[in-house]
């Protein structure tokens, strides 16, 4: 098995011992992604739709750096801080997956920073 770390240009240093993604053969495992700026501060505080857009754009950039695109995403793990944001998350999510939808699950839980409203981890099959 070939394995490589995927760190897109301009990525901030992670808060814990992990990388944005690992590519094993043709499978890209994208770490849980939050709406962070380059200093790991939460952006779009209080706006679940804007945070979702930021998270999915970040994931898109990671998958692109690994040689794929959003159509290659096969599975997403979604974590929301509050179920009241579920509809806003889904509206933005649908924009990023207009064709065949990936499998997924969504749970409500606490996130690593209090202002974070959404976190998504992805699996993509590229190549």
Domain ranges of the chain: 3-125
Task: Tell me the mean pLDDT in the region 56-60.
Answer: 97
The model's pLDDT over 35-53, given as tens digits with 9 standing for 90+, comes to 999 889 999 999 999 999 9
Tell me what percent of the chain is helix, strand and coil, each rounded to the nearest 5: 30, 30, 40
Residues in the chain: 127
When pLDDT is cut at 50, 70 and 90, the band that residue 14 belongs to is confident
Report which of 11, 58, 18, 12 is spatially closest to residue 34, judged by C-alpha positions.
58
Task: Tell me the mean pLDDT in the region 22-45.
Answer: 96
Record the tokens describing residue 125, joined without a space.
């099959």
Tell me the CATH number of domain 3-125, given options 1.10.150.120, 3.30.365.10, 3.30.1330.40, 1.20.1250.20.
3.30.1330.40
Spell out the residues 6+ positions from residue 94 whose beta carbon is closer than 8 angstroms to its own: none
The model's pLDDT over 63-105, given as tens digits with 9 standing for 90+, comes to 999 999 999 999 999 999 999 999 999 999 999 999 999 999 9
User: Any idea what DSSP says for residue 36?
Assistant: B
User: pTM to 2 decimals?
Assistant: 0.95
Q: Would you say the C-alpha torsion 104, 110, 113, 114 has a positive or negative sign? A: positive
For the chain, the average pLDDT equals: 95
């Amino acid at each position: 098995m070939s394995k490589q770390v995927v760190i897109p240009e301009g990525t901030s240093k992670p808060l814990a011992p992990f990388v944005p993604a690992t590519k094993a053969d043709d499978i890209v495992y994208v770490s849980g992604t939050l709406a962070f700026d380059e200093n790991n501060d939460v952006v779009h505080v209080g706006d679940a739709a804007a945070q979702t857009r930021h998270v999915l754009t970040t994931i898109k950039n990671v998958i692109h750096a690994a040689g794929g695109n959003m159509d290659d995403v096969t599975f997403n793990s979604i974590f929301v801080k509050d179920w009241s944001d579920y509809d806003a998350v889904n509206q933005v999510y649908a924009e990023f997956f207009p064709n065949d939808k990936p499998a997924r699950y969504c749970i409500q839980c606490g996130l690593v920073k209090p202002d974070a409203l959404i976190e998504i981890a992805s699996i993509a099959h590229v190549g």
